[in-house]
Structure 1
Amino acid sequence: MVERINYATLPQIAGPYVHATKHDKTLYVSGLTAFGTSSQSEGLPEQCSQILSQISSILESEQRRKQDIIKLTIFVRDISLLATIREQLFEFYEGFLPACSLVEVSKLIHPDLLIEIEAVIALVD
């Protein structure tokens, strides 16, 4: 069975999707952005910080830890700016490096957005 979840602590969804789905002890988190937050019109580090905060909120809601993150997929509009968020990512992981893909894209859902991050999180101990 698949459980579809929207988290009250995250920005409200306006499209045809949910924040995450649970299936077989795995949580699949939709692409998160800074859309609808105070960071929406800010730079890549600020938007990244907002998204990582959203992921932390999901981990807390699910009573999980950073070491439970299996994989992140990061979509950026300008891959040459990776250095501006690299240290931020290392700090967020707290030493528990996940599998990760980094993809440069031409556009995201709104012109202000510079980054979107999806996550896969283990729900077992």
Structure 2
Amino acid sequence: MSLLFNKIARISTSLPKAHTFSRMVTTITSTNAPPAAGPYSHAVKANGFVYVSGQIPYTPEGKPVEGTIGDKAAQCLKNVVGILNDSNSSLENIVKVNVFLTDMANFGAFNEAYTKVFSSHKPARSCVAVKQLPLGVEVEVEAIAVEKQ
């Protein structure tokens, strides 16, 4: 046991030190998405990443989208792309998407709408069933992207 501990101690002391990044954080408010439904920013840029807050199926004018779950998912994704465009990023720069559905029976229909937007680029993704979402909507989409170089 002592031999193993000594090897681990030598390895850990020989590892390079972590780099300290400057605290460059910028909040984004977009006209290409509905007004925030709470006290948060549409997105936050930090150290080359863009963190997009969850988007619900409302138009930039603040009107709810009616129709199928596919129509609602398409609006959520359109809002995400609009925010990314205002954040020096784009759809192609998305590295992770988180999807929240109030009914997993909508998973297939959501995927159909999602595939129309992400036809070739396939970021990492999670889809989680939740009991409720803000303003009684059925779907919410958030994303993490990198800034354009």
> TM-score normalised to the size of structure 1?
0.88
Q: CA deviation at 1:61?
A: 2.4
Q: Quote the Cα distance in structure 1 between the aligned partners of 2:123 and 2:39.
A: 28
Q: CA deviation at 1:9?
A: 1.8
Identity %: 28
Structure 1 residue aligned with 2:110: 85
Q: Is the 8 A contact 2:33 2:80 kept in 1?
A: no
Structure 2 residue ranges without an equivalent (≥5) = 1-23
Considering Cα pairs closer than 8 Å and 6+ residues apart, tell me whether 1 or 2 has the greater RCO. 1
User: Aligned match of 2:85 in 56, 60, 65?
Assistant: 60
When structure 1 is superposed on structure 2, of 59-68 and 25-34 the one drifting more is 59-68
Which residue identity does 2:41 align to in structure 1?
V
Structure 1 residue ranges without an equivalent (≥5) = none
Q: RMSD of the alignment, in Å?
A: 1.6
Q: Quote the Cα distance in structure 1 between the aligned partners of 2:46 and 2:73.
A: 27
Q: CA deviation at 1:90?
A: 1.4
Q: Quote the Cα distance in structure 1 between the aligned partners of 2:41 and 2:138.
A: 21
Q: CA deviation at 1:83?
A: 1.0
Q: Quote the Cα distance in structure 2 between the aligned partners of 1:38 and 1:32.
A: 12
What CA deviation, in whole Å up to 9, does each residue of 1:47-85 have, x standing for no partner?
101111112212332343322100000000011211112
Structure 2 residue aligned with 1:110: 135
Find the structure with the greater CA-based Rg: 2
Q: Quote the Cα distance in structure 2 between the aligned partners of 1:117 and 1:73.
A: 6
The 3 A distance-change label for structure 1 pair 18 and 101 is same
Q: CA deviation at 1:98?
A: 0.4
Q: Which has the higher helix share?
A: 2
Q: Does 1:18 align with 2:44?
A: no
